[in-house]
């Protein structure tokens, strides 16, 4: 076919996950040491006595963050945490990070120092080593790419693909708060853009703002698993919303699930903010994303071990594949969950 007649497709036709599946469908692994490649929260490399877990995330100005309201120190911290969360989602321990950053001429040395203050603080809090990286100029703004390297014994690793029927579905913390923090910041930004004399009103919203701007990864839950002798049967971190993540587990494990609305943990600050926006808090919890909580399944025999843990909330169970991923509402109705989490490649209507 000639170049002039060749049909080109917009990336938005596939979407983010469709694009990933498309460009990686024929990737071949050449080394036996690569025991998990593309398709989970992190890759896994087997070094016989232990396995290395490797993951990478890219944060781009204008796509993932807005410097009108994202402090640079918080941004550096968050860039580390989103990668560490992926390592924890494999039931592994983060050990090192590599940082690459692209910066435009609008940034000064002091700005870069602020970013690295946040990076170094996260390294200290999560006991990981900053071992290298790269810097480059940029024509369009700021981009931060971090690769995290973790470690685990092969038998301790947990994937998305190993949930089984009757397993209990659990989440940590609460959901939807980061999304509502973002909605608040976007609202105040628009008000300021319309009136430069406007002073943003953020008092009383500390919790949801912290969850958006400076999230934390669930290190304490992974430590609890180890001390309690619990190995989740499947696990993923919640970066794109509960609906998208449970569907990932169901698809990879070839199962269905039933999730109960009344069991989904939503903080009162999240619900209050949602009400201000005339939004159902459940929508934020299902589709908001950026909570960086852990979604995992456990054998039903381990339910007694987790049911009194303040951070762990059973929200449903794994069912037959034919059932699909189902939400049982407070009124007892069944609704098929849809993967509606944030997708930066979605075509604008």
Residue 345 has a pLDDT of: 43
Residue 267 confidence (pLDDT) above 90:
yes
**Residue 199's pLDDT band (cuts 50, 70, 90):** confident
Domains of the chain: which residue ranges?
53-155, 168-336
Beta partners for residue 137, in sequence order: 103
| Number of other CB atoms surrounding residue 280 within 10 Å | 12
Q: Are 90 and 158 in contact (CB under 8 A)?
A: yes
Residue 1 confidence (pLDDT) above 60:
no
Work out whether the CA dihedral 180, 249, 86, 20 comes out positive or negative: negative
Which long-range contacts does 187-196 make (Cβ < 8 Å, 24+ apart)? 187/277, 188/69, 189/66, 189/68, 189/69, 192/68
Q: Are 236 and 291 in contact (CB under 8 A)?
A: no
Burial class (CB in 10 A: 0-12, 13-18, 19+), 292: buried
Cα–Cα distance for residue pair 277/205, rounded to 1 Å: 14
Residue 136 confidence (pLDDT) above 90:
no
Mean pLDDT throughout 46-58?
89
The pTM (predicted TM-score) of the whole model is: 0.87
Residue 349 confidence (pLDDT) above 50:
no
Residue 279 phi, psi (nearest 5): -115, 140
Please name the residues in contact with 192: beta carbons below 8 A apart, sequence gap of 6 or more. Answer: 68, 198, 200
Mean pLDDT of the chain: 91
**Residue 48's pLDDT band (cuts 50, 70, 90):** confident
Q: Are 157 and 42 in contact (CB under 8 A)?
A: no
The fold of the 53-155 domain, in CATH, is: 60s Ribosomal Protein L30; Chain: A; (3.30.1330)
Residue 4 has a pLDDT of: 58
Residue 15 confidence (pLDDT) above 90:
no
Render 138-178 in DSSP notation, one character per residue: -SSS-EEEEEEEEEE-GGG---TT---TTPEEEEES-SSHH
Tens digit of pLDDT for each residue in 165-198? 999 999 999 999 999 999 999 999 999 889 888 8
Number of H helices and number of E strands within the chain?
A: 10, 13
Mean pLDDT throughout 127-134?
87
Cα–Cα distance for residue pair 74/206, rounded to 1 Å: 14
Tokens of 146: 């971090």
Residue 348 has a pLDDT of: 46
Q: Are 218 and 309 in contact (CB under 8 A)?
A: no
Render 62-105 in DSSP notation, one character per residue: TTTB-TTT--HHHHHHHHHHHHHHHHHTTT-EEEEEEEEEEE-T
With vertex at residue 98, the alpha carbon angle to CA 222 and CA 182, rounded to the nearest 5 degrees, is 65
CA nearest to 205, candidates 187, 181, 173: 181
Half-sphere exposure of 149 (CA within 13 A, CB side): 15
Tens digit of pLDDT for each residue in 153-163? 999 999 999 99
Cα–Cα distance for residue pair 219/317, rounded to 1 Å: 24
Tokens of 103: 């910066």
Mean pLDDT throughout 25-38?
76
Range of weakest confidence among 27-41, 86-100, 180-194 = 27-41
Range of weakest confidence among 23-37, 64-78, 172-186 = 23-37
With vertex at residue 219, the alpha carbon angle to CA 255 and CA 46, rounded to the nearest 5 degrees, is 65
Cα–Cα distance for residue pair 206/271, rounded to 1 Å: 14
| Number of other CB atoms surrounding residue 336 within 10 Å | 12
Range of weakest confidence among 22-36, 50-64, 330-344 = 22-36
CATH superfamily of 168-336: PurM-like C-terminal domain (3.90.650.10)
Tens digit of pLDDT for each residue in 250-259? 999 999 999 9
């Amino acid at each position: 076919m000639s170049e002039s007649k060749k049909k080109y497709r917009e990336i938005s036709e596939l979407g983010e996950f469709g694009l990933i599946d498309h460009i990686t469908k024929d990737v071949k692994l050449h080394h036996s040491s690569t025991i998990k490649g593309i398709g989970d929260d992190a890759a896994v490399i087997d070094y016989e006595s232990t396995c290395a877990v490797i993951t990478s995330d890219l944060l781009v100005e204008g796509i993932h963050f807005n410097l009108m309201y994202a402090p640079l120190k918080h941004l550096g911290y968050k860039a580390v945490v989103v990668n560490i969360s992926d390592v924890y989602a494999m039931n592994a321990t983060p050990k090192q990070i590599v940082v690459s950053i692209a910066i435009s001429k609008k940034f000064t040395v002091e700005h870069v120092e602020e970013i690295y203050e946040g990076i170094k603080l996260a390294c200290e809090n999560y006991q990981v080593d900053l071992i290298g990286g790269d810097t480059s100029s940029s024509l369009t703004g700021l981009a931060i790419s971090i690769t995290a390297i973790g470690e685990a014994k092969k038998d301790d690793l947990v994937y998305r693909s190993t949930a089984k029927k009757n397993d209990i579905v659990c989440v940590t913390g609460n959901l939807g708060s980061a999304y509502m923090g973002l909605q608040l910041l976007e609202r105040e930004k628009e008000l300021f853009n319309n009136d430069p004399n406007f002073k943003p009103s953020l008092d009383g919203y500390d919790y949801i703002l912290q969850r958006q701007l400076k999230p934390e990864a669930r290190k304490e839950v992974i430590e609890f698993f180890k001390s309690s002798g619990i190995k989740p049967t499947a696990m993923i971190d919640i970066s794109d919303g509960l609906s998208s993540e449970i569907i990932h587990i169901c698809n990879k494990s070839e199962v269905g699930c039933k999730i109960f609305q009344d069991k989904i943990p939503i903080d009162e600050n999240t619900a209050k903010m949602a009400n201000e926006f005339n939004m159902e808090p459940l929508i934020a919890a299902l589709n908001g994303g950026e909570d960086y909580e852990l979604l995992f399944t456990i054998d039903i025999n381990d339910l007694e071990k987790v049911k009194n843990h303040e951070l762990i909330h059973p929200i449903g169970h794994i069912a037959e594949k034919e059932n699909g991923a189902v939400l049982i509402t407070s009124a007892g109705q069944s609704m098929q969950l849809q993967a509606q989490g944030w997708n930066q490649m979605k075509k604008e209507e």
